[in-house]
Structure 1
Amino acid sequence: MSTQRLARAAGLSLLAALAAAPLAAQQPAAAPAGPGLSLEEAVAAARQNNPDMQAQRNDTRGTRAAMRAARADFLPSANASAGFGYTASGVQRFGSEVFGERPQYYSSNWNLGLSYDLSGAKLLQPRLARSQHQATESRIAGYEADLVMQVQQQYITVLQAGEQAAQAAREVERTREHERLANAKLEVGSGTPLDVRRAEVERGRAEVTVVQQQNTYATELLRLGLLMGVDLPVETRLESTFELFEPTWAAEDLVRSALENNPGVLAARASTGAAQTQVRAARSAYLPSLSFQVGMVGSVYSAGNIDPLVQQQLGGMQGAFASCNESNTVRAALGLSTANCAQFDVNDPVVREQVRRQVEAGNPSFPFGYERQPLQASMSISLPLFDGLSRERRIEEARVQESDARLAVQAQEQRLTRDVRTGLLNAQTAYRTAQLQRQVAENAAEELRMARERFRLGAANSIEVTDAQTRLAEAERAVIDAVYTYHKSLAALEALAGRSLR
């Protein structure tokens, strides 16, 4: 009997030692030992590496090019051209007129010209391009602000998943402690195998929850890396922390800040400015336009075979030779001096050679024996009178777009005002919920302590302990959800207000 008493006393001492372990001494699961990552680093990486963000920024390249083109459009346009041609030999005709056999010809030409146009639309084009560029930049700023909010929300979600995994690990330790207590009671004869089996079931369920929460944490971390545009190691440690504080801002101040700083509203207003400029550009169609041109031309028209040209020249000289002889006969009869007709004698080889040399000298060399033409300059003015109401249609379409843009700004401002007020209410509600959930968790922890004490003393069964453990686990998870719901609502409110509220 003394041996049984000693064993029972030792068992009771063991039970007291197990029950004396304070609940607050349980530590969360150790943080990953990988590289650290702050919220600021995550946001900076997303701005730099996110593919969608980079694609949005590419749009500014087109608008910058449009601004440069609009400014350069005030410079005169210059063009240079060159061409080459060939005409076969044959009889040239024009209607019923026949101009005889023509040789083959080779031609080349060059053209250098300057032109300048000035119109109302051109005068407004730089302003229109600049307003469109500003609208694009505002739209990109809005997209970037939305990306920053997504990164903040996902960063908080990863922290929440990590806290849930740590809570699940603490729950495993509590179930193991209850399992040890149930085994100890069974050993001293004050417990039952059913109590042990219940404790083992609760411990198994807690271990399953740990595995699931760890998977959730890894999945959310991968989603964060996707937003950042990088591959995050599973061991990455999130270093930023968030304090729970009461939101005491005035709704009017937040609404005023949102209307002044919200990127979405700023982008809508920039679009309205671009639409207004588009209306002025459409109205410029009623203004006259001026056009100036200056050009220089050089050309070559060279015969491939000069024999037909020589024959034409000699044929003309034969008539001149006959006329000269007749004139000399008349002048001799009158006793006047006669002219030298030998220069027209085509039968003279010297004359024929002289004619060939003249034709060769007058035939320019192909392709670069250009003959420059006189400088040409012109100016014209055009005043549109009637174009079938096309101008009126374009002006009306531009006015409709401007009106739609103004209405869109009004609608967005109204939605923003409502969303800011709603977001503030959500943050205040989340704060009060987190405070109440913490009280519930404290009460649940005290309930579990009392249930364990009653179970140790034999005043309660294991069901009471497992129920208390379940309620404490639910309360701890509710605290985590409430706290991070508050931080998410605060991040959403910051995105609406367009500034930091922490």
Structure 2
Amino acid sequence: MPIPNLCRNSGLLLLAGALAAPAAAQRPDTTGPGLTLQAAVASAREQNPDMQAQRNDVRTTRAGMRAARADFLPSANAGASVGYTASGVQRYGAQSFGESPDYYSSSWNVGLQYDLSGTKLLQPRIARAQHQAAESRIAGYEWSLTTQVGQQYLSVLQAGERVAQAQREVERTAEHERLARAKLEVGSGTPLDVRRAQVDRGRADAALVQQQNSYGTELLRLGRLMGADLPFETRLTSRFELFEPTWNAEELVAEAIQANPALAATRANSGAARTQVRAARSQYLPSMNLNVGLVGSVYSAGDISPLVNSQLAQLEGAFAACNENNVIRQNAGLPPQNCAGLNAADPVVRRAVRRGFEQANPSFPFGYERQPLQASLSFSLPLFDGLARERRVEEARVQASDAELAVRGQEQTLRADVRAALLNAQTAYRSAQLERQVADNAAEELRLTRERFRLGSANSVEITDAQTRLAEAERAVIDAVYAYHKSLAALEALVGRPLR
């Protein structure tokens, strides 16, 4: 990471060099795959499962928009059916109509229906508002994911620099151990100095192992956000400048009010809620319904014998009546009527009756007879439905009011959060500068203590204390620098755009 020239001695220059190459001691071979922040964000946008699930909502709202437009077209339907009625005596109440044969039936129908109402007229606008709200919500989630990736990228860099700092601590304790052994060999040191140096070395080794584990954990978390498996040798190549945040708070607030994705999503939800109010009011408008249909059907007897027998029985009665009428006519001197066609006992008459039923009985299942075209047009004006419409309108108004209040509340919260985030960034910048001065003094203190130890005027306890203070100061510098970068990332998340 490039560092401003605030170092005043070799100790701070060493620390700045370590911050410029995080985790280099942990991974001496820099041949692993490089990863920039931009590549990490792009991977998260394309592969993060939660992001992909959010985008699926847009497919639903697009389908809703298409359905709302297609709803202005008439609906068409076609159908067919078959049926069977067993033979038997048909009755209607106390009346009996004689025995009927079994019947087979089939039919088809084709129809068009068109409905028009105030709700349908507003449905495309409602669907479009819902689609815009979904897109705004997804944009807000995508920006939130981008800021999460940026924060985690910084966390991995911070963990890498802590590994490098732990490695430097191992090297310092090893150097002190070698110096203690050399003094013991020439008789100017003690075994206690060597043991203390070995204890310090062991603690440094343990701290290095823990920091390496923390680095691996943070790298895994970054990979999870990216939706990818990152190898342990991955090199994070993006670097971040440490600079003083001199933005004006009010300008940032105004920009955040216009560009914050979460606020934009809330505004889109408010617009959709206002559209729902108009849709609820449309229930007071009349509606129209148009139906046009064609029907064809066939009703075929399975056995025409009962029908033939019923017809012959009627002919027998008519034949007897005709003969009686002829007797009367004969007594009156009138010519008789021809009753031969009514003689049910005549085989010719019986064959004629059966032939007539055979010709009149349609073939099953496709002997359709088309019915006349049917069309109807109706209008409906709702007058009173138990105040259900009024309740729905009031509910829509309440939801719209709640959505507007949510926008106002989020704007107020955003104003306070932006100001607080800017103050945090400014404080973190000053803290990083102060921590570097402390690290500068700690590095100089360790150098002077080592010189005194070589000359025999300092003991190993002083060396240990100086090393501990330098290690703490180095870790504090790392934490302060990345606290600054993370606070700046939090400010960018609120403003809705990068600030560096």
TM-score above 0.5, yes or no:
yes
| One-letter amino acid of the counterpart of residue 238, structure 1 | L
Secondary structure at the residue paired with 1:242?
coil
TM-score after normalising by structure 1: 0.91
Change (3 A) 1:22 1:301: closer
Does structure 1 conserve the Cα–Cα contact (< 8 Å) formed by 2:12 and 2:440? no
TM-score of the two chains, using structure 2 as the length reference:
0.91
Question: Residues 22 and 162 from structure 1, CA distance in 2 versus in 1: closer, same or farther, beyond 3 angstroms?
Answer: closer
Please tell me whether residue 384 in structure 1 is matched to residue 379 in structure 2: no
For residues 168 and 470 of structure 2, what CA distance do their matches in structure 1 show? 11
Q: Which residue of 1 aligns with 2:50?
A: 52
3-state secondary structure, aligned to 2:63 = helix
Asked if 1:88 is matched to 2:79, the reply is no
2: CA distance between counterparts of 1:24 and 1:498?
36
Moved more, 188-197 or 370-379: 188-197
Deviation at 1:342, TM superposition (A): 3.0
> What's the counterpart of residue 183 of structure 2?
185
Secondary structure of the residue that 2:113 maps to in structure 1?
strand
Task: Measure, in 1, the Cα distance between the counterparts of 2:357 and 2:480.
Answer: 105
How many angstroms apart in 2 are the aligned matches of 1:204 and 1:97?
111
Task: Name the CA distance, whole Å, in 1 between partners of 2:30 and 2:201.
Answer: 24
1:134 counterpart residue number: 132
CA deviation after TM superposition for structure 1 residue 311, in Å: 2.0
In the other structure, the counterpart of 2:281 is: 283
Cα distance in 2, alignment partners of residues 338 and 375 from structure 1: 49
User: In the alignment, what sits opposite 1:194?
Assistant: 192
In structure 2, distance between residues paired with 1:390 and 1:475: 70
For 1:110 and 1:22, locate their aligned partners in 2 and report how far apart those are by CA, in whole Å. 95
Aligned to 2:463: 465
How far residue 79 of structure 1 moved from its aligned partner, in angstroms, is 1.5
Which residue in the other structure is 2:257 paired with? 259
- Give the partner amino acid of 1:122: K
CA distance in 1, matches of 2:447, 2:423: 36
Quote the Cα distance in structure 2 between the aligned partners of 1:191 and 1:374. 120
Q: 1:463 to 1:65 in 2, by over 3 A?
A: same
Matching residue within 71, 76, 79 for 2:77: 79
Residue 245 of structure 1, aligned match among 243, 253, 265: 243
For 1:284 and 1:137, the matched residues in 2 are separated by 26
Retained in 2: the 8 A contact 1:263–1:498? yes
Q: 1:326 to 1:23 in 2, by over 3 A?
A: closer
Q: CA deviation at 1:205?
A: 1.4
Q: Secondary structure at the match of 2:58?
A: helix
Aligned residue for 1:299, secondary structure, equals: strand
SS of equivalent to 2:247: coil
Distance 1:365-1:288 versus aligned 2 partners, 3 A rule: same
Cα deviation, residue 331, structure 1: 7.0
- Name the residue aligned to 2:21: none
1:37 aligns with 2:35: yes
- 2:229 aligned with 1:235, yes or no? no
Query: Judging changes above 3 Å, is the alpha-carbon distance between structure 1 residues 139 and 398 closer, same or farther for their aligned structure 2 residues?
Result: same
For 2:223, the aligned partner's letter is G
2:4 match: none
Q: Judge conservation of contact 1:107–1:302 (CA < 8 Å) in 2.
A: yes
Question: For residue 17 of structure 1, what is the aligned residue in structure 2?
Answer: none
Separation of aligned partners in 1, 2:156 and 2:248: 30
- The answer to whether structure 1 residue 431 and structure 2 residue 422 are counterparts is no
Deviation at 1:161, TM superposition (A): 0.4
- Partner AA of 1:177 in structure 2: E
| Farther off after superposition, 261-270 or 52-61 | 52-61
Match of 1:211 among 200, 209, 212: 209
My pick for the range that moved more, 438-447 or 327-336, is 327-336
Superposed CA offset, 1:34-83 (max 9, x none): 21111111111111221211222222222222222212211111122222
1:356 to partner: Cα distance: 0.9
What is residue 302 of structure 2 aligned with on the other side?
304
In structure 1, give the amino acid aligned to 2:384. F
Deviation at 1:465, TM superposition (A): 2.1
CA distance in 2, matches of 1:181, 1:477: 25
- How far off its partner does 1:283 sit? 0.7
Q: Distance in 2 between matches of 1:411 and 1:90?
A: 77
The question of whether the paired residues in 2 share the 8 Å contact of 1:31 and 1:237 is answered with: no
Correspondence for 1:450 among 448, 451, 454: 448
Query: Residue in 2 aligned with 1:144?
Result: 142
Number of the residue aligned with 2:494: 496
Contact 2:11 2:440 in 1 (8 A): no
> 1:31: how far off?
5.8
1:169-214 CA deviation, whole Å, 9 max, x = no partner? 1111111122222222222222222222222222221111111111
Cα distance change, pair 22–120 in 1 and its aligned pair in 2 (3 A):
closer
Question: Runs of 5+ in structure 2 lacking a partner?
Answer: 1-9, 19-23
Report the Cα distance in structure 1 between the residues aligned to 2:62 and 2:12, rounded to whole angstroms. 64
Amino acid paired to 2:138? I
Deviates more, 1:327-336 or 1:311-320: 327-336
Aligned residues of 2:99 and 2:306 also touching (Cα < 8 A): yes
Question: Could you give the per-residue CA deviations for residues 6-45 of structure 1, whole angstroms, max 9, x where no partner exists?
Answer: xxxxxxxxxxxxxxx9896697513654211111111111
Give me the whole-angstrom Cα distance separating, in 2, the residues matched to 1:331 and 1:116: 66
Residue range with higher mean Cα deviation, 23-32 or 82-91: 23-32
Does the 8 Å contact 2:105/2:365 carry over to 1?
yes
2:104 match: secondary structure: strand
Identity of aligned residues (%): 72
Q: 1:191-250 CA distances to partner (integer Å, 9 max, x unpaired)?
A: 222222222222221111111111110111111111112211111111111111111111
**What does the per-residue CA deviation read over 1:92-136, in whole Å, with 9 as the maximum and x for residues that have no partner?**
221222222211111111121111111111111111111112112
How big is the shift at 1:87?
A: 1.5
- Within 5 A, what are the aligned runs for 1:315-330? 315-322=313-320
Cα deviation digits, residues 364-399 of structure 1 (max 9, x gap)? 111111111111111111111111111111111111
